[in-house]
Amino acid sequence: MDDKKYWVGFNLIKGIGAVRMQGLVAYFGDLQTAWGADSFSLAEAGLGAKVIERVLAARQKVDLDQVWAKIESQGIKILTWQDEAYPSRLKEIDQPPPVMYIRGEYLPDDLFAVAIVGTRRVTPYGRQITEEISSFLASNGITVVSGLARGVDAIAHQTALKSGGRTIGILGSGVDKIYPPEHLKLAEQMMERGAIISDYAPGTPPDASNFPPRNRIISGLSLAVVVIEAGETSGALITAEFAAEQGREVFAVPGSILAPQSKGTNKLIQNGALPLLSVNDIMQALDFTRIGEHKAARKVIPADETEARLLNLLGGEPLHVDEIRNQADLPIERVSATLALMELKGMVRQVGGMNYVAVREEQGNYKT
């Protein structure tokens, strides 16, 4: 916990994003050491003169213990790259956020998510389609992700909740600065069955420049992005662009060539996005049957300490049984026998050459 306050400290400094944070961790080994480093060492770690000045000034002005106490008092949870609970799908994107601030709960099953985005000036047609898609996804155990904005975003969140599902809102402000303010009650409901997430520190106001970058998180957390309605300059098109760059599937709802709200979505289809003609299109693209199988596998509880230890060591990357034995510090006979039993339970899978992966974290088949 003490280490996380240094992640927050650097996150508060303008000019330190994913690349520079990664450089600091690589050079110093941890951010606590980096926080106390001298100017020469910070320069060696890759920081420029202006950023170093900001770091030195922050040390004098910012009381990290006080900042951390305030975060805890607001019930805000923090995930960093180093946390096992950090969304593995988000780690795949270019420059994933080093720090995520969360109100509510981000659960393992939220890896199975679809983003629904679109115009703030939604038409009755757009509202109907948004409600149908969000209801369908939520009813099938798929988390609905959006940006809590007026229009399509709000409708998607509200419908997911009404359908008994989970929904996550990604903000362009601190999680203590709900925007727009009229969505405060909706945000509170989402915290009960989902989460409000931001990579901006608490207290950050909803500046216009914050919103385009946050869209990479909306798409990054999702299996696919559905654009309902969007004008030619809609921010939803930025989300679709991020999704395409991240290898996610992009769906767009076709509309009238005369409707301003459909100019952006029709253009997306023209440029290669999948036209969404039915909710079944999403079902086929995301293979709901296999998603259900993986969700079931994730819920398998380790039977004993040995299973728990091995499961914690395994992820989506293959690990050889000898390396598993070394890291677990257990006899090879016990490791081999336990892995065989876990494979029967569907908890792990051998991928050849005595290499194993954890089924619960295997997302490769769902990248689109």
Give me the average pLDDT of each 10-residue run along the chain (368 residues): 85 91 93 94 94 94 93 94 87 90 92 93 95 93 95 97 96 95 96 96 92 94 94 90 91 92 93 90 72 57 80 86 90 84 78 79 34
CB-based contacts of 95: which residues, under 8 Å, 6+ apart?
Answer: 17, 18, 19, 216
pLDDT value for 362: 36
Backbone angles phi, psi at 196, to 5 degrees: -110, 130
pLDDT value for 291: 59
Pairing of strands 224-227, 319-320: unpaired
Question: Which residue has 């409901």 as its token pair?
Answer: 189
pLDDT value for 317: 81
What is the CATH number that goes with domain 104-286?
A: 3.40.50.450
What is the CATH number that goes with domain 294-366?
A: 1.10.10.10
Give me the long-range contacts of 250-253 (CB less than 8 A, separation at least 24): 250/224, 250/225, 250/274, 251/224, 251/225, 251/226, 251/227, 251/275, 251/276, 251/281, 251/282, 251/285, 252/226, 252/227, 252/276, 253/126, 253/129, 253/226, 253/227, 253/228, 253/229
User: Per the confidence metrics, is the pTM higher than 0.85?
Assistant: no
CB-based contacts of 164: which residues, under 8 Å, 6+ apart?
Answer: 138, 139
pLDDT value for 368: 29
Could you tell me the residue ranges of all domains in the chain?
1-65, 104-286, 294-366
pLDDT value for 367: 34
Pick among 1.10.3470, 1.10.150, 3.30.70, 3.40.50: CATH of 1-65: 1.10.150
DSSP 311-362: HHH--SS-EEHHHHHHHHT--HHHHHHHHHHHHHHTSEEE-STTEEEEGGG-
pLDDT value for 262: 93
